[in-house]
Amino acid sequence: MLELRDRAEDLAGSRRQAVAPAAWSLGSGQEKRFGHFLATATAGLPPHQRIALTTPPEPAASAFFLTRWAVYHLPGHDIIPALPARSSDDLDTWIAYRIELPPRDDLELVRRVPQGAIYRVIHRPGTGLATETRGKAP
């Protein structure tokens, strides 16, 4: 039911002028929808994940502010702003918000959610990371 409401609000919002993340305020519709997206995307993740957040490249300032909002909404995780080509060696999880990640050998799609997707990082032998010591995503 929440997904239907979010989609309806997104359609209605597309008719209004979009408000950049830099202008969001706590409790605004955009901030609440982004928080709901993050909660849905990260449901079931173990604590203390190193999460790459990738967002559309334009406008450039939006990625900065979306990362700050993600840090606010996901206090138990380390949030790293990332371009889709970034290495995953030191990460556990990727969240793609309103952007499609190209296929990659080091990522496994966990689930798609409205407005994005979440991916598990696949640590291969020889990467320098011990898979047993990393938190495991669902």
Q: What is the pLDDT of residue 17?
A: 56
Q: What does the domain layout of the chain look like in residue ranges?
A: 2-133
Q: What is the pLDDT of residue 124?
A: 72
CA dihedral 13, 17, 22, 24 (to 10 degrees): -50
Going by pLDDT thresholds of 50, 70 and 90, the confidence category of residue 36 is very high
Q: Please say whether the dihedral angle defined by the alpha carbons of residues 56, 63, 96 and 108, taken in this order, is positive or negative.
A: positive
Using CA atoms, how far residue 85 sits from 5, 65, 88, 107, in Å, is 33, 20, 9, 12
Calpha distance 14→26 (Å, rounded): 21
Calpha distance 121→135 (Å, rounded): 10
Q: What is the pLDDT of residue 15?
A: 46
Q: What is the pLDDT of residues 39-96, one digit of tens each?
A: 999 999 999 999 999 998 777 778 889 999 999 999 999 999 888 778 888 899 999 9
Q: What is the pLDDT of residue 52?
A: 93
Going by pLDDT thresholds of 50, 70 and 90, the confidence category of residue 19 is confident
pTM over 0.85: no
Q: What is the pLDDT of residues 98-130, one digit of tens each?
A: 988 888 899 999 999 989 999 999 987 765 543
* Residue among 123, 69, 72, 130 at smallest CA distance from 93: 123
